[in-house]
Every structure is written in structure tokens, then in C-alpha cells.
A and B are shown apart, each in its own frame.
Chain A
Amino acid sequence: MIEGAAINLSLGGKPILKDVTVGLHPGELLAVCGPNGAGKSTLLSALAGEHALCAASVRYEGTAANKLSTMQLSKRRVVLEQSPTLSAEFTLTELVELGAPIGVAPEEMDALTTPILTMLGLWDMKDRYVSELSGGQRHKAHLARILTQLHGNRQMGHRCHVFLDEPTASLDISQQAVVLKAMQRLTREGVGVLVVLHDLNLAAGFADRVILMREGRVLYSDVPSAVLTEERLTDTYETPILVETASSGQMIIQPRF
């Protein structure tokens, strides 16, 4: 379990996170939602152990993040940034293999990466250069890289969790489902997944629990049907929001025009 207890973080003199307490449990898909500037990405980076100022407030299975080395942290969580970059001319396979932890033998590499590439629909383009891929394909390629890190860690016996910052922003509607269903499958294997999402419909459809943030604070934390209500969303986003339930039982959330 990853816990953040009363996280306070100021950057450039401006408070970004204010007394935030949050926990990511094994087997849980936790969606973090909220308006722009709410502190969602900063919360993710704080929980990932990036900020020395608040690392003592974050605990991995009971151990404070500031007591873990960079390598030890990389065994306990994997992170996909909002806008991953790549400066070198790598093929998709090379990029994905970058995620493999030290200790994975070369002969084990294909067995590690092939299921991930296949699941994300990237197998056919594994020999193409990343620079030749579309924006969405590139994003999925980076997702494949961190999943390689995740599965490599798990093969070595490490309990590892996943942090994703807006993983669906550059994907079409079908690929959004592919990615989030893949995350759901991971939760069934006991992996905790924290995902920052702007799309409230995806949060409602895929998350086990939703955190709603505003101005650096967690306002609500509960199952989607309890958090994603018209009243709470309208209050959080300061704009009228309509929440309906389709005949299939699926929640539909949109601004009230």
C-alpha cells in the first residue's frame, strides 16, 4: 500500500498541496479528478517520491519514501508522465525495453515485452522508430515501457504499483477503453493503479474509487457513484454539470448547456 499522510507541499512559495491524505490500496483503481490547477499531477508526483520536501509524508508499505533510494522507489512504483518525451531515435522495441529493470536477462526480454505490446496493439509496429508513430501510438509506447518495468519488478518479487497522469488524453475513444481495461486487469492481479483523469465518464466507468480535488485539497473520496454527483461536481468545478444514468447503468457526465 502507498499512503500519503497530511501532505503539504509548496512550490515557488505557492502552496500546491494542502494537508492531503490519500492511500492507494493493492487491487484498486483510484481516479484523481478535479479542475485544472487542483494539484492532481503534483499529488501524483508527491506520491511517486519526487519531492524531497514531502517525501517523509509518503510511505511505501510502511517505509517513508525519503528512506528509499531512487532504485528502490523504481521497484515499488512505475510512473507515466502526462507528456512523455524521447530525445533519441529508438525503435518502439528499444523504448519498451528501456523499462526492463536491471536483472532481466536478454533471453527473457521477449517473453516480458511481447504480451504487453500485443495487449496494447503495438506488436505490428515494434520495429518502427518511435518518431514515426502517431501521438497516440507514442503515448501507448511509453505506457508499454512502464508496464515492462512493472511486470519486470513483479517477476522479481517486488510489490509494485502504477501511477498514470492523463494516460488517455491523446487516445481515441476505443484506445481509451483499451488502456483502462488493461489497468482494470492489473488491479485484479493485486496491483494498485492511481490515474489522473480529466474525463469524468472514464472515471465513472472504470475506477473503484474517485478522489475529487480542488485548490490543493481533497474534497471527496469514495466510490464513483458517491463522488460524481451533480451537486458535488457542480460545486467542485464551479459550473453546472449534468449527471445521468443510461439504461445500461452507465453514468453519463457532461456540462449542462
Chain B
Amino acid sequence: MVSVDASHRSFAPGKLVAVYIGLTTLLAVAMFCALTIGPVSLTFAELWAAFTGQGTIATETILMDIRAPRMVLGIMVGGSLAISGACLQGLLRNPLADPGLIGITAGASLAVVFVIVLGAGVIALLPPVLEVAVIPLAAFAGGMAVTFLVLGTARIGGQFSVARLILVGVAITAISGAMIGVMVLMSNDQQLRELTFWTMGSLARSNWSTVVIACVIMVVSSLALLRYRRELDMMQLGERAAFHAGVDVGRVKFQICFLVAVAVGAGVSAAGPIGFVGLVAPHMTRLFIRASHFVVLPVSALVGANILLFADLFVRNAIPPSEIPIGIATSLLGGPFFLWLLLRNRRI
């Protein structure tokens, strides 16, 4: 098999190692900050004591029940969104591709909004365990329903059409947006606050029960996406040339879209729809390093995890005790940086 070594010649191995070390160090800093900075600030000694079982109950509760699941979710959502975005951009050969583009995020959000506004009575009747899980499940079901709808309608005469996939995704996003608008008009104050979370995203509701399930799905689907690095490189030659080189283009397109849908659906079910990361993380990676997907996918994942953790730090601490929706923060932090990179680099 063609190895990683053979596929990033544009990239000095030393520089690649430096990028990995730099991003991993940054992520470690972000993780440390995520665990220690907040309404209750913790020192390194307190952190160490809590992890070794020698901390106070209050410290351990803050760390293990609130901050740690939130941090893990942030890393996983950021990483999987970035890999999903990089895969879609590579697959569609379109720098504007984003997981939101194929309607999955909108479908998941719509399902949740429906449940919150119209299903409040039904939720109240459920046992507490199910009550907690019903909204994430709705998000996941909504995302998957849209996925199958989009994948099903994107086939013409047995062939999988990416253009049709995007157009169906755009239509579903538009319809979902309109229906969410109607639901917002129908909602009361309490529901409206709830809707903000599910339309702009947040890591605030992280708890181990939802985080573990979502993270397992995100890790499995992201690792599966990493297996398509060679095919994604081939797709940069165009679909015909990729076919000539041995890529079963239709099958690869379907499988990548399906895995992206699963990863994004799982992310939305735990953290709501978080925009911008899937678009910007791969671009930041490509602006720093012009290399094949063997490098772009894992580096994008690190960039995405960093973006989301730092964005979450910002929203948690900008105007305490209130919390800004993280979707606003990812755009506020990432947008200007992205613009600066674009202006600095004239290749795009």
C-alpha cells in the first residue's frame, strides 16, 4: 500500500513533525484550560489531586461530571466535523463544501425543534432516563433520516450524483429553516431558550451518558473516513481519471457521504449544530500545508479540535455566568483568522 511517507513529498518530514507537535501541544494547553478555567478556577495541583482520587468531592464533581465530558465532546465534535468537512471538500472538489451543505445538520435540528415545541407533553410522560435521551435521539434520527433521503434521491439511474446531492441538501436546509422558523413562532419563552441551544449549538449539556455514545459513533465514523485518504487524493484528478486509476467512484462517493452523515448526526445529537468548523479547519490546514489527504485529514482533525475547545473556553468565560452559543464563537474567532489567512495567501 502507498504509505504516508510516499504521499507528502511537498512537505518536509521535519515540518510535518513540527506541525503535529505544535497542534498537539496547543490541544494539550486547550485541554488544560478547559479543565481548570471556569466559574471555579482550579490549580494544576487540584487537577492532579482530583485525577488521582485525592481531591475534594466538589473538585472531582466539577472535573469529572462537568468539565471532562464537555472537553471530550469538544475534541470529538471538532475533530469529526473537520474530517467530515475535509472529506466533503476533497470528494466534491469544492472548497465551499461543508457538512451542513448536504442538509444533515438542518435535518437533525428540525427533528429536535419538533420534539421541543410539539412533543413537550409526551416528553413529560417519559421516565427520567428516557427524558434525557429523547432530544439527542431525535437529533440523531433527524440527521439519519435526512441522510437516507438525500442519498436515496441523489441517485439517477443507479449513478450517484454529487450535484444532485448538494441540491437536495440545499432544498432540505431551506425547508428545515422555514419549518424551524414556524416552530419558533409557536414556541413559548422556555421553549425558545431551549431552541437557541439546538439551533446554534453548545457543549454545555455534556454528560457522560450522551457523550460516550456520540463519541464512539464519531470516532468509528472518523476512523473509517481516514481509510479513504488515497481515494480522496485520486478524486483530485477528476472522476474519470480516478476511475481509470482503479477507484470505484460511485461506491466511494456513497460511502464517504454516509460516514459523514453518521459523524455529523452523532455530533449534532450531543452538541447541536455547530457551523464553520467543518469548513474552516480543512482550509486552515491546506493554507499552512499543501499536501495530500494523507496529511490533510489528521491535521484537520487536530485543528478542528483546537478550534472547538478554544471557542468553548471563550463562550464559557466571556460574559459569565451567561454563555454565548458556540456557533457564534466559532464564527467570531475563526472568521477573521480565516480571512487573514486568505488575504495573506493568494493561492486561493
Residues of A bordering B, CB below 8 Å: 45, 48, 50, 69-71, 73-75, 77-79, 81, 84-91, 93-94, 97-106, 109, 127, 129, 131, 146, 149
Asked whether, in the complex, the Cβ of A69 is within 8 Å of the Cβ of B237, the reply is no
With both beta carbons as reference points, the residue of chain A lying nearest to B238 in the complex is identified as A85
Q: Given the complex, which residues of A lie within 8 Å of B246, measured CB to CB?
A: 70-71, 73-75, 101-102
Q: Given the complex, which residues of B lie within 8 Å of A75, measured CB to CB?
A: 246
Q: Given the complex, which residues of A lie within 8 Å of B93, measured CB to CB?
A: 87
Report Cα–Cα, A93/B292, bound state, in Å.
12
Report Cα–Cα, A153/B302, bound state, in Å.
36
Asked whether, in the complex, the Cβ of B9 is within 8 Å of the Cβ of A79, the reply is no
Interface of B, helix, strand, loop or mixed by DSSP: loop
Asked whether, in the complex, the Cβ of A98 is within 8 Å of the Cβ of B10, the reply is no
What is the CB-to-nearest-CB distance from A45 to chain B, in angstroms, rounded to a whole number? 8
Given known pairs A89-B290, A109-B6, the reply for A81 and B243 (CB within 8 Å) is no
With both beta carbons as reference points, the residue of chain A lying nearest to B248 in the complex is identified as A70
With both beta carbons as reference points, the residue of chain A lying nearest to B232 in the complex is identified as A88
A-B pairs under 8 A by CB, number: 92
Asked whether, in the complex, the Cβ of B237 is within 8 Å of the Cβ of A70, the reply is no
Interface string of B159-199 (1 = CB under 8 A from A): 00000000000000000000000000000000000000000
Asked whether, in the complex, the Cβ of A94 is within 8 Å of the Cβ of B10, the reply is yes
A-B contact pairs, 23 of them (CB 8 A): A48-B244, A71-B248, A79-B241, A79-B244, A81-B241, A84-B237, A85-B238, A86-B237, A87-B93, A88-B233, A88-B292, A89-B286, A89-B290, A90-B236, A91-B10, A94-B8, A94-B10, A97-B7, A98-B234, A98-B245, A105-B3, A131-B347, A149-B245
Asked whether, in the complex, the Cβ of A89 is within 8 Å of the Cβ of B248, the reply is no
Asked whether, in the complex, the Cβ of A100 is within 8 Å of the Cβ of B6, the reply is yes
Interface string of B1-27 (1 = CB under 8 A from A): 111011111100000000000000000
With both beta carbons as reference points, the residue of chain B lying nearest to A102 in the complex is identified as B1
Report Cα–Cα, A62/B285, bound state, in Å.
48
Report Cα–Cα, A104/B286, bound state, in Å.
27
With both beta carbons as reference points, the residue of chain B lying nearest to A104 in the complex is identified as B2
With both beta carbons as reference points, the residue of chain B lying nearest to A69 in the complex is identified as B248
With both beta carbons as reference points, the residue of chain A lying nearest to B4 in the complex is identified as A106
Q: Given the complex, which residues of A lie within 8 Å of B5, measured CB to CB?
A: 106
Asked whether, in the complex, the Cβ of B233 is within 8 Å of the Cβ of A98, the reply is yes
For residue B240, CB closer than 8 A to chain A, the reply is yes
With both beta carbons as reference points, the residue of chain A lying nearest to B247 in the complex is identified as A70
Interface residues of B in 288-329 (CB under 8 A from A): 290-292
Asked whether, in the complex, the Cβ of A89 is within 8 Å of the Cβ of B10, the reply is yes
Interface size of B by CB at 8 A reads: 31
Asked whether, in the complex, the Cβ of A103 is within 8 Å of the Cβ of B1, the reply is yes
Asked whether, in the complex, the Cβ of A87 is within 8 Å of the Cβ of B10, the reply is no
What is the CB-to-nearest-CB distance from B324 to chain A, in angstroms, rounded to a whole number? 36
Q: Given the complex, which residues of A lie within 8 Å of B234, measured CB to CB?
A: 98
Asked whether, in the complex, the Cβ of B237 is within 8 Å of the Cβ of A98, the reply is yes
Q: Given the complex, which residues of B lie within 8 Å of A103, measured CB to CB?
A: 1
What is the CB-to-nearest-CB distance from A103 to chain B, in angstroms, rounded to a whole number? 7
With both beta carbons as reference points, the residue of chain A lying nearest to B5 in the complex is identified as A106
Q: Output the residue of A48, A87, A99 with the most chain B CB within 10 A.
A: A87
Asked whether, in the complex, the Cβ of A50 is within 8 Å of the Cβ of B237, the reply is no
Among B7, B8, B243, contact of A70 (Cβ-Cβ < 8 Å)? B243
Among B9, B236, B244, B347, contact of A93 (Cβ-Cβ < 8 Å)? B9
Given known pairs A69-B248, A70-B248, A100-B2, the reply for A85 and B237 (CB within 8 Å) is yes
What is the CB-to-nearest-CB distance from A165 to chain B, in angstroms, rounded to a whole number? 10
Given known pairs A88-B292, A89-B347, A90-B10, the reply for A102 and B2 (CB within 8 Å) is yes
With both beta carbons as reference points, the residue of chain B lying nearest to A93 in the complex is identified as B9
Report Cα–Cα, A100/B1, bound state, in Å.
9
Asked whether, in the complex, the Cβ of A87 is within 8 Å of the Cβ of B290, the reply is no
Report Cα–Cα, A256/B237, bound state, in Å.
40
Q: Given the complex, which residues of B lie within 8 Å of A77, measured CB to CB?
A: 244
Which 7 residue pairs are nearest across A and B when measured between Cβ atoms? A74-B246, A89-B290, A88-B236, A79-B244, A91-B10, A87-B93, A71-B246
What is the CB-to-nearest-CB distance from A135 to chain B, in angstroms, rounded to a whole number? 16
Among B1, B3, B238, B244, contact of A74 (Cβ-Cβ < 8 Å)? B244
- Given A85-B237, A89-B286, A91-B9, 15 extra CB contacts under 8 A: A50-B240, A50-B243, A77-B244, A87-B238, A88-B90, A88-B233, A89-B290, A90-B10, A91-B10, A93-B9, A94-B291, A97-B6, A103-B1, A104-B2, A127-B10
Asked whether, in the complex, the Cβ of B236 is within 8 Å of the Cβ of A86, the reply is yes
Q: Given the complex, which residues of B lie within 8 Å of A88, measured CB to CB?
A: 90, 233, 236, 290, 292
Q: Given the complex, which residues of A lie within 8 Å of B244, measured CB to CB?
A: 48, 74, 77-79, 81, 146
Q: Given the complex, which residues of B lie within 8 Å of A45, measured CB to CB?
A: 240
Report Cα–Cα, A77/B245, bound state, in Å.
9
